[in-house]
């Protein structure tokens, strides 16, 4: 079912500093910050040859990553995202297998404009898993 | 400097259960368990089209992931690994930029037979970073 690893998302307390570290210390290609108000985050994309790292910082009062940064003040890996062809079908298959889909179970439009679902980390060994519907290339 | 994301490593308390979840629930291609005594882990490789997930479980008395699983009993993402062309040169560049290389600073042979270094998570926003020398394809 799952296809490519679309991205690894890392929550960081200082987005400019993290972007500079990835750009200057690690020598990666790093985007400008993209505010995504609907998701309560500002994102910097680190483009690698085969996938992306997304550096996330809270945006607004109800950011879903604010609590994570309270518990992990220095930052940390927040989630990983796998691509699927059909996120509704994938969600049904996962639920039938006993995995919990977060929220109301309906896909939301993610930061890349594609429908996404998040799966409960307790069902995936402490890893918050996002699945994103990405049309076949 | 950094190239591809070589893998995301996830420490898990039950390797067989985690392998089954990735194989059956997520429908991924999953290897048999590979014991790597020199690194104190048994590894299951989850092969994605663009990178790998490595499921890690402690092996032996001095496993470097035993402490992590004591703190995160349900499991969790342990590290991410970026490919570099020359791990010694990369280590020198990183040290010059103020990043801390773990251990004695000399590369060790990693689970794939290539020289690797680990970088201090506090210098990378709570993310333990491995760099692995992978010859250009």
Containing H/E element for A90?
helix A87-96
Question: Other C-beta atoms within 10 Å of B107: how many?
Answer: 20
Four-point Cα dihedral A81, A86, A92, A95, nearest 10: -10
* Cα angle A69-B56-B119, degrees, rounded to a multiple of 5: 55
- Which of B16, B24, B70, B130 is the catalytic position? B130
What are the DSSP calls for B66-113, one per residue?
A: HHHHHHSTT-EEEEEEEEES-HHHHHHHHHHTTPPBPTTSS-EE-TTS
ipTM value for the complex:
0.95
- Catalytic, B47? Answer no
Nearest-Cα residue of chain A relative to residue B97: A25
In this structure, what token pair is assigned to residue B81? Answer: 């690994």
Any idea what the CATH number is for the domain that residue A15 is in? 3.10.180.10
Question: What span, in angstroms and rounded, lies between the C-alpha atoms of A123 and B135?
Answer: 36
Question: Other C-beta atoms within 10 Å of A76: how many?
Answer: 19
> Cβ A1–B28 below 8 Å, yes or no?
yes
Q: Which of A5, A75, A126 sits opposite B50 (nearest CB)?
A: A5
Question: CB pairs below 8 Å between A and B: how many?
Answer: 117
Q: Model confidence at A137, in pLDDT bands (50, 70, 90)? A: low
In this structure, what token pair is assigned to residue B5? Answer: 């994301």
Question: What span, in angstroms and rounded, lies between the C-alpha atoms of A38 and A48?
Answer: 26
* pLDDT, tens digit (0-9, with 9 covering 90-100), for B100-131: 999 998 999 988 889 999 999 999 999 999 99
* pLDDT, tens digit (0-9, with 9 covering 90-100), for A92-134: 999 999 999 999 989 999 888 899 999 999 999 999 999 999 9
* pLDDT, tens digit (0-9, with 9 covering 90-100), for B46-79: 999 999 999 999 999 889 999 999 999 999 999 9
Burial label, B37 (beta-carbon count in 10 A; 0-12, 13-18, 19+): exposed
Give the number of domains in chain A.
1
Name which of A89, A91, A114, A88 is nearest A102 in CA terms: A91
Nearest CA distance, A93 vs chain B (angstrom):
8
Res A56 pLDDT > 90: yes
Name which of A79, A126, A130 is nearest A102 in CA terms: A130
**Cα B113–chain centre separation:** 13
- β-strand partners of B118: B130
Nearest CA distance, B22 vs chain A (angstrom):
9
Domain hosting A66: range is: 5-133
> Cβ B10–A125 below 8 Å, yes or no?
yes
- Which of A54, A70, A92, A130 is the catalytic position? A130
In this structure, what token pair is assigned to residue A116? Answer: 């996404």
In this structure, what token pair is assigned to residue A129? Answer: 């898993």
Q: Model confidence at B137, in pLDDT bands (50, 70, 90)? A: low
Nearest CA distance, B135 vs chain A (angstrom):
15
Percentage of chain A lying above the pLDDT 70 cut: 99
> Cβ A27–B123 below 8 Å, yes or no?
no
Name which of B107, B75, B84, B91 is nearest B9 in CA terms: B75
3-state class (DSSP) for residue B24: helix
């Amino acid at each position: 079912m799952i296809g490519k690893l679309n991205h690894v998302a890392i929550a960081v307390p200082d987005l400019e500093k993290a972007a500079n570290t990835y750009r200057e210390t690690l020598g990666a290609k790093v985007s400008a910050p993209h505010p995504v108000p609907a998701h309560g985050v500002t994102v910097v994309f680190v483009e690698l040859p085969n996938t992306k790292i997304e550096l996330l910082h809270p945006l607004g009062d109800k950011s879903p990553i604010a609590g994570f940064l309270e518990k992990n003040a220095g930052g940390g890996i927040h989630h990983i995202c796998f691509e699927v062809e059909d996120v509704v079908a994938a969600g049904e298959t996962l639920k039938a297998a006993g995995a919990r889909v977060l929220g109301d179970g309906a896909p939301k439009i993610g930061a890349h404009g594609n429908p996404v679902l998040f799966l409960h980390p307790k069902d995936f060994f402490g890893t918050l898993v996002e699945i994103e519907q990405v049309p076949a290339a």
